Amino acid sequence: METPRLLIERKHFVYMNNFFYLMIFIIIILFSYGCKKDPSANTPEYLDAHGIKKEEENIIRIENIAFKIPADIPMNVYTVGDIKSGQTDTLTVYLDFSYLLEHTWDGGILAPWMVRVEMEKFLYENPKNSDFRLQANKWSKEIDNTELGLTEFHSKNYRGGWGYISYQSSVKQVATPLGGPVQFRCTGYPIGKIDTCWGGYQHPNGFYVSYFISNELLPYWREIHQNVVRKVNSLIIE
């Protein structure tokens, strides 16, 4: 027969044992809830969470700006944090400039005549301070590239990364909507070969537009810049 002390100790043990398992159960539930994640980017589930339907016309917003994307324009979206249907932080579309190049391609992620255009809310343009000519300490040399109609700048520091070689237009040639020079920061190999160039500008509505062009398209930079500006404007519906 149990003594009162042993009975109390046994009941305490049972209580603590049950409490232990209860806490484990609660932790598992909380952990499972915390581990619920949004779908991975670049998947059908990710697009569906944003309300995007493939091969259909879609309307998507960056903050309070709505874009209507035609069914024939490939698109993608990216959101930092919680996903809300019909909203995104970054909207990507792909524009076809195949009429500028011969259709030869040895494969890869993106054909050289396709231009990736990203609209997002995180970047901005400052025309007064962004002029490459005012950043002489960054460049090992500056070249008047008459073939491209651009000034070419070679970085002292980058070895093949973005800005390894950069280009800038005269605002008298082509300017951004805010009146700044058109600029390209390029990647490539540290022997003068360009791979991809990144250009961009801030839209008057506040969002930033980045576009990425292949080395083969760089000679057509004027036409591409102007077409990107027109196309982005045409996608805005409110």
Given a contact cutoff of 8 angstroms between Cβ atoms, the answer to whether 225 and 134 are in contact is: no
Q: How far apart are CA 230 and CA 207, in angstroms?
A: 15
Dump pLDDT digits (tens) for 141-172. 999 999 999 999 998 886 767 788 999 998 77
**3-state SS assignment for residue 130:** coil
Among 173, 180, 219, 170, smallest CA distance to 203 is for 180
Sorted by sequence, the CB contacts under 8 Å of residue 26 that are 6+ apart come out as none
Note the pLDDT of residue 25: 61
Note the pLDDT of residue 161: 77
Q: How far apart are CA 213 and CA 189, in angstroms?
A: 16
Among 83, 82, 88, 44, smallest CA distance to 69 is for 88
Note the pLDDT of residue 129: 74
The CA-atom distances, in angstroms, between 56 and each of 51, 68, 86, 87, 233 are 11, 11, 14, 17, 20
Dump pLDDT digits (tens) for 54-88. 889 999 999 999 999 999 999 999 998 899 999 99
What average pLDDT is seen over the chain?
83
* Number of alpha helices (DSSP H) and beta strands (DSSP E) in the chain: 3, 11
Q: Apex CA 218: angle with CA 234 and CA 176, to 5°? A: 45
Note the pLDDT of residue 125: 85
The CA-atom distances, in angstroms, between 51 and each of 8, 72, 87, 88 are 60, 17, 8, 10
Domain residue extents for the chain: 1-36, 44-235
Instruction: Indicate the pLDDT class of residue 124, thresholds 50, 70 and 90.
Output: confident
Q: How far apart are CA 216 and CA 120, in angstroms?
A: 26
Whether the pLDDT of residue 229 is over 70: the answer is yes
Whether the pLDDT of residue 1 is over 90: the answer is no
**Between these two residues, 183 and 191, which has the higher pLDDT value?**
183
Instruction: Indicate the pLDDT class of residue 6, thresholds 50, 70 and 90.
Output: very low
- Fill in the amino acid letter for 97: F
Whether the pLDDT of residue 17 is over 80: the answer is no
Dump pLDDT digits (tens) for 26-45. 666 555 544 456 677 778 89
Which token pair is 35?
């581990």
Mean pLDDT of 113-129: 87
- Fill in the amino acid letter for 140: S
**89-103, 186-200, 209-223: which range is least confident on average?**
186-200
CA Rg value for the chain: 27
Tokens 């016309």 sit on residue: 57
Whole-structure pTM over 0.85, yes or no? no
Which token pair is 121?
């809310």
**Between these two residues, 4 and 69, which has the higher pLDDT value?**
69
Whether the pLDDT of residue 190 is over 50: the answer is yes
The helix or strand, by DSSP H or E, that contains position 154, with its residue range, turns out to be: strand 150-155
